[in-house]
A and B are shown apart, each in its own frame.
Chain A
Amino acid sequence: MKPGGSLSIWFFIGVCLFVNGALIFGRGIYELISPPQTQVVLSSLHANIWWGGLLLALGLFYCLHFSPWRAQATKNR
């Protein structure tokens, strides 16, 4: 969906999820290596790693699938 413009709304969403996922995943890895002094409840589940990873993967999929370059290539074909 890209009414009136070349960038799809889904591409923006992909960028948003990708950046947030990367930051959260990265922080989770850092905490795994260097555990913080104060822990939240259920910190042993390492939610930031798997949740961040999920957002990262979803964001990457949206970025690639709805990228303006891919849309342009499809249009040219």
Chain B
Amino acid sequence: MIPALLLASSSTLVHLSAVDLIIIIFYFALVLAIGLYLKKQANTGEDFFMAGREMTAWVAGLAFLSANLGSLELMGWAGNAYKYGILAAHWYWVGAIPAMLFLALVMMPFYHICKTHSVPGYLKLRFGEGAQGVSSISFAFMTVLMSGINMYAMAVVMKVVLGWDINFSIWVSSITVAVYVALGGLRSAIFNEVLQFFLIWAGALLIPILGLIEAGGWSGLQAKILHNLTELNVPNPGSYTHLWSTLGSFGTNPMGINWVGIVFGLGAVISMGYWTTDFLVIQRVLTAKDLRSAELAPIIGAGFKMMVPFIVILPGLLGLALLRDPQGHLLRLVPADVAWSPQGQAQGLHGYDEVLPLMLARYCGPGLLGLGITALIAGFMSGMAGNVSAFTTVWTYDIYGTLINKNASDDAKVRMGRWVTVIGVIVSIVTAYFAKQAPSIMDYVQELFSFFIAPLFGTVILGMLWKRATAAGGWTGLLAGTLSSIGMYTWVKIDPTAVRYVALSVDAQAQAQNMFRALWSCLICIIVTVVVSYLTRPKPDSELKNLVYGLTPIPKAEHVTIFHSPIFWGAVVAVIFVAVQIIFW
């Protein structure tokens, strides 16, 4: 990292001290050491791609969450909290918790019992190679794009906070990820994700703690935000700190969305689609050593997911309340394209996604700053490693092993996996440069989800719960849902007034459009699947055993105490989830 110092410009938020550099270098050394240590345990396909299927519930659960907790999650959602207020927390609560519990208690038995290597692999067993092909190709496309976004998000941190050259940051970090994933496979990725989970909390938790002390607690924070936004003539300033009470109509909240979009678009489609069918996160749970661990892992993840807004959403809100420029005036962050324009740079403007680094620089001196930067780098690496390892598995098993070389040996697949890891990283680097064009990182991500994840959820859930769904119905429904989502997106791009049809309101902002597009594409997928299924011949029940509800004998739960029961802990998480909604109503 030392050469990076030479690339630093003088106009940066902070300058690293020796202790900060030691912390960062130690982190890089540790993740590489873990990759090297685990290399000798990644010799078979089951080891390399599925971590031997021997992870405990805690390791699988923390990796499940950490793979999602990339730097774009940290920076992008902190930026969105600044832009949309506490409404952004919906993506952590209604947009995650019900889906994670549904995955744990309803869907996990199917994934676990059929011993699939991937979600497209499940679709192959259930619907045949057509649905598998559509799903695996769209997933592979999405993961490398997501990986590129993560990479770009991390490079922005380095640029904003330290003045490091974006290209330098991208190459150093991505090569490190490529090395440790290619060496140790999924086990190495998971070990590092658990490590990164701890680092992210250790590095990011101080910001909300110190921020709340400075703001005078939650009530002081609310009062400051109301005062600042009123001073800036922002419409509906009170809506920035209320979760549900402003969702009665589109025009009374900063996101331009109503409760239908949040509950059905986000909660029922996007969230269910992501947390129950996105192989990036599912792959971590598939490594669990037994069914109870596989069920407990998403519940453990859900428990921690509920707390993530404390280190992500709260810093965004604190930025609204506390950030001021050197002259003492309120600091107003702007969209990234404005901040990054030559005029924006000349005026010293900062983008929404820079709010977390700005807060980091506000409170963290030498040592803590190094840890905070390491947390962001760790977030980047966990997100990227998650995408790359999932991409590698889907490519090797569902594209290479199914469409290109059906007779590939186990050794050939492991070799292919190592090479595809490197290739996936290179493709991700290319896509990182596309992410620079998006005004807000998270809007871009949600666009991708609405294209691919929303229709996939319709296909998987019908496949698991409705035995009448046929192979032709599955893949035509998936294809129709994906194409319709892309079609709606293109329609609004060509004719912006079409947003009144797609998102039901001209007030709908980018996130609201994504939610409604996801909802429609999922419904289209389901309708097409049902219609085509009724027109085609279903598989006999004997071929659907272990794949469909009602035809899958679920193993009887082992006799465990209530404190080891997935249902008990699922209920605990559900009660806390409801309480949080009421508290921040």
Contacts and interface: CB of A to CB of B under 8 A. Distances in A.
Interface of A: 1, 3-5, 7, 9, 12-13, 15-17, 19-20, 23-24, 26-28, 31, 36, 39-43, 45, 47-48, 51-52, 55
A19 B455 CA distance: 46
Contacts of B41: 3-5
Chain A residues touching B, majority SS:
helix
Contacts of B465: none
B401 interface: no
Given A3-B51, A41-B214, A24 B368 contact: yes
Most B C-beta atoms less than 10 A away, residue of A7, A47, A55: A47
A12 B38 CA distance: 12
B577 to A, nearest CB: 27
Most buried by B among A16, A28, A47: A16
Interface residues of B, number: 41
Contact of B23 (A12, A23, A41): A23
Contacts of B17: 27
Contacts of A55: 202
Interface of B: 17, 19, 22-23, 26-27, 30, 34, 37-38, 41, 47, 51-52, 54-56, 58-59, 187, 191, 194-195, 198-199, 202, 206, 210, 213-214, 361-368, 370-371, 374
A39 B366 CA distance: 10
A40 B23 contact: no
Contacts of A42: 210, 213-214, 363
A19 B22 CA distance: 10
A54 to B, nearest CB: 9
Given A4-B54, A4-B187, A42-B213, A17 B198 contact: yes
B478 to A, nearest CB: 35
A45 B447 CA distance: 43
A20 B202 CA distance: 10
A48 B365 contact: yes
A24 B19 CA distance: 8
B14 to A, nearest CB: 9
Contacts of B195: 9, 12-13, 16
